[in-house]
Structure 1
Amino acid sequence: MVRLEPSPRVRELIREAAWIALHPSQDWLDAFDQATLAAYPSIGEDPALAAIISRSNRTNLIHFAAANLREPGASVPPNLGAEQVRMARELVRRGVDSVALEVYRIGHNVALRRWTEIVFGLTSDPAELRELLDGPVRSANEFVDATLAGLAAQMQQERDQLTRDIHAQRHRIVENILDGAPFNSEQAEAKLGYPLDGSHTAMIIWSDEPDDYHNELDRAAEAVVSTAGSPLALTVVPDAATRWLWSQDAAGFDITNVRHALSNAPGARAAIGTTAPGMDGFRTSHFDALTTQRTLARMRSTQRVALFGAIEMVALLTHDLASTDKFIANTLGDFESASRELHATLLAFIRQQCNASRAAKVLYIHRNTLLHRVEAAQKLLPRPLDETTLHVGIALEVLQWRGDHAEDYGKKRTEQQPGVAPTGSR
């Protein structure tokens, strides 16, 4: 909208009104403070915060009036000086940043009433009054809107910084706990907001994707905690691509719940440790989750959610991948390149102690179908199954996790055994 230049007479009246506004009485200032804080008694009862808000509001008055004294009727730039930045920081750190909008609006309304009183005391000419009210009031509205927009951006920066500070403090405390360094448990619990006694289940959520996906991790961690439904949960941010979690409700980190929580975060993956009691449990569960994560990475597994209990043996057997691959090749022979369906069938058969009826029930297939598949598998094995059952079972367990043959193993086992959690489920 094109702003009309005030007439010379109105410019002088605006300058005179601005001068009066710059020199209010103490009574008016006190009434101004009371009006802006009356809607929030809790703030008014905090002398330090009340003083900060009062100074911020008063600097807005001075900023606007001084701008009109210099250039009557011109647009006024937003006021984002030191007092506004300080108020933004204090409101955010005290968790009452939503108050800023209302406080500024109330102050704006009180100031506009004061401006109306001033201009009516300077002239009674209708045309002059129209210019004195229309132009400056529109300018004041634009000024407050621009100032609030800048203040909102500043408060977002303060929120981001506060979050970083909290996460950095939590990370330092947790690192000390994991390292076994001495610390005051009561102080640590207070700063973490998480009890260190009881039992703990740890989880690591991470992303192998580019930086654009790292924002998903916070949402994924929040979804996991929300799905867990327990207030006794802790989230730590060790780096941009990783989130560490602990819960005292072991059922909350059940693999099915975690998979559901990650459904809207396609770049996120999760490794879940065992459940263990006390401070040692806090550490060991995390290290179990870390072992799970590293095993998946080492084997280039595409598994998105994995339990330590399901991968523990594989972790022990795969430190030397070249030797592991050689063991699989020697044990399985041509069967290594068979279909996943055939692998899954033989693995289920071995897990059920080579009992065809039980294995068929687990796989939801007919017993004869299972026997045909087992017979087909045995023809591809280099040695008879009854002589190499243990070795074949181990090779197939490892193969389930290898990147070129990975399936959602935890999910498969859950589906195969309704009502029975996979080994290691907590």
Structure 2
Amino acid sequence: MVSRANRSHLIHFATANLRKPGQPVPANLGPDPLRMARDLVRRGLDASALDVYRVGQNVAWQRWTEIAFGLTTDPQELHELLTLPFRSASEFIDATLAGLAAQMQLEYDELTRDVHAEHRRIVELILDGAPISRQSAEAKLGYPLDRSHTAAIIWYDDPDDNQNHLDHTARAFGRALGCPQPLIAVASAATRWVWVSDAATLDTDRIHQVLDHAPHARIAVGTTARGIDGFRRSHRDALATQRMLARLRSQQRLAFFADIHMIAVLTENPDSAADFITSTLGDLESASPQLLTTVLTYINEQCNASRAAHVLHTHRNTLLRRLETAQRLLPRPLDHTIIQVAVAISALQWRGSQTSDPVETPVEGITSPPPESLGRRRSRLAQLER
């Protein structure tokens, strides 16, 4: 293939000079060079492999120099024999390599689209429970299905963000979980479905580091489960997590299904969820994040004020004053509604910040309150919290 391409270039260059001596030689993008470019891409090589042409150029130029010096020793004639051909050959090779590099990129894009389309087709068959052989699916995906799987959905809210960055983030997520070659399926221009096999641990810090390098990306992570059924289940969990974030207009960039399972179920009906939060928390719903965190930490620490104060790095008396404020805001005594209050605050913390006008999300309709009434409530609550 290389020999045919080189021969094609030599013939093209010589013929062009015979027909139009001294004129620029157009790039040679004939069948043999293009076939070579296509073959290089199929072999997994990039445009740097085209440097082999430079080697051929150097060999040809050395031979031409020997011929020139064998024909004459006159400096003026040597100047004409060497300067013009050198410039012409260099420009010809530069133009040809630029054309071949562009063709290789087209071939690579086409190959990538084909691979992504095939991966998406196989993945959808698996998710739909179609009768597909595990061995066949593994061979086509290049991914083992008989192991444990941790699925994730990685997406940008803005579909115009760079898709290459999204693919890089998906691969970085796999590495963060100890899997250098995760399975990545292109769900849409701004969304990737990802599976990691035999994840070492769900290291939250490492995943946050991935997000630090991808400021526009968001990640929803499913549970870890084994086999093809686990492949499906983990993806369903990741999808439920993503939908909950969208439903609540949450600004959280990382969420695990294990952490939000109860909240996801509770908020499947946004109107009912909003009613539950309001009826359970009363005026506490509009309290400061600090006060809400204090109450939730107190409950999580089994209503032990000393332990809660230690977790929050605050004085016990300060914590008790905050709890007294919270109790005045709650419609019913905290001691009688501990579970309901914990669930309501957890759901509230996942919900996105309220906006000035009622807003509907693409997934479900969630309406925020008018700004005037909310502002008056927060002003009154701020006085109480002091």
TM-score, normalized by length of structure 2? Answer: 0.86
What residue in structure 2 maps to residue 178 of structure 1? 127
The residue that corresponds to 1:140 in the other structure is 89
1:299 maps to a residue whose letter is L
C-alpha deviation, 1:274, in angstroms: 0.5
Is contact 1:61-1:111 (8 Å) kept? no
Residue in structure 2 matching 1:65, options 8, 14, 17:
14
The total of aligned residue pairs comes to 355
Q: What residue in structure 1 maps to residue 186 of structure 2?
A: 237
Counterpart for residue 371 of structure 1:
320
Contact residue 201 and residue 253 of structure 1 kept, 8 A: no
Letter in 1 for 2:109: D
Q: Is the 1:219–1:265 Cα contact (8 Å) retained in structure 2?
A: no
Residue equivalent to 2:172? 223
1:174 Cα shift? 1.0
**Which position in structure 2 is the counterpart of 1:92?**
41
> For 1:58 and 1:252, how far apart are their aligned partners in 2?
56
Alpha carbons of 1:253 and 1:156: their partners in 2 closer, same or farther (altered >3 Å)?
Answer: farther
2:137 is matched with: 188
- Tell me the residue number matched to 2:3: 54
- CA displacement at 1:98 relative to structure 2: 5.3
State the Cα distance separating 1:404 from its structure 2 match.
Answer: 1.2
Alignment of 1:157-306 (within 5 A): 157-231=106-180, 233-306=182-255
Distance 1:152 1:300, change over 3 A: same
CA distance in 2: counterparts of 1:232 and 1:63, whole angstroms: 44
Secondary structure of 2:240's counterpart equals helix
**What SS does the aligned partner of 1:271 have?**
strand
Q: 1:232 to 1:159 in 2, by over 3 A?
A: closer
Closer/same/farther in 2, CA of residues 214 and 113 from structure 1, 3 Å limit: closer
SS at match of 1:211: coil
Separation in structure 2 between the aligned mates of residue 97 and residue 259 of structure 1, nearest angstrom:
32
Report SS of the residue matched to 1:183: coil
**1: CA distance between counterparts of 2:46 and 2:3?**
15
State the match for 1:423 in structure 2. Answer: none
Q: Please give the alpha-carbon distance, in whole angstroms, between the structure 1 residues aligned to 2:254 and 2:316.
A: 31
Q: 1:405: how far off? A: 6.8
Higher radius of gyration, 1 or 2:
1
Matched, 1:389 2:377: no
Matched-pair contact (CA < 8 Å) for 1:216–1:267: no
SS of corresponding position for 2:176: helix
Q: Is the contact made by 1:198 and 1:277 (CA closer than 8 Å) also made in structure 2?
A: yes
Q: What are the within-5 Å matches in structure 2 for residues 326-365 of structure 1?
A: 326-365=275-314
Whole-angstrom distance in 1 between the partners of 2:90 and 2:340: 79
Q: CA deviation at 1:316?
A: 0.6
What are structure 2's unaligned runs of at least 5 residues? 356-386
Instruction: Judge which range, 382-391 or 114-123, deviates more.
Output: 114-123
Q: Shift of residue 242 of structure 1?
A: 0.8
Q: State the 4+ residue runs in structure 1 displaced beyond 3 angstroms.
A: 96-100, 113-126
Determine the structure 2 residue equivalent to 1:416: none
Amino-acid identity (%): 61
1-structure distance, mates of 2:134, 2:175:
26
Q: Is the 8 A contact 2:159 2:189 kept in 1?
A: no
| Paired residue type of 1:75 | P
Residue type of the partner of 1:139?
Answer: S
SS class of match (2:27): coil
User: Could you say what secondary structure the match of 1:202 adopts?
Assistant: strand
Following the alignment from structure 2 to structure 1, what is the Cα–Cα distance between the partners of residues 226 and 161? 37
Q: Which amino acid aligns with 2:145?
A: L
Report the equivalent of 2:102: 153
Alignment of 1:109 with 2:58, yes or no, is: yes
Cα deviation, 1:116-166, whole Å, max 9, x if unaligned, reads: 455556666543332122111211011112211222222222222222222
| TM-score where L is the length of structure 1 | 0.79
CA contact (8 A) 2:155 2:190 kept: yes
Aligned to 1:404: 353
The offset of 1:99, in angstroms, is 6.2
What residue number does 2:368 align with? none
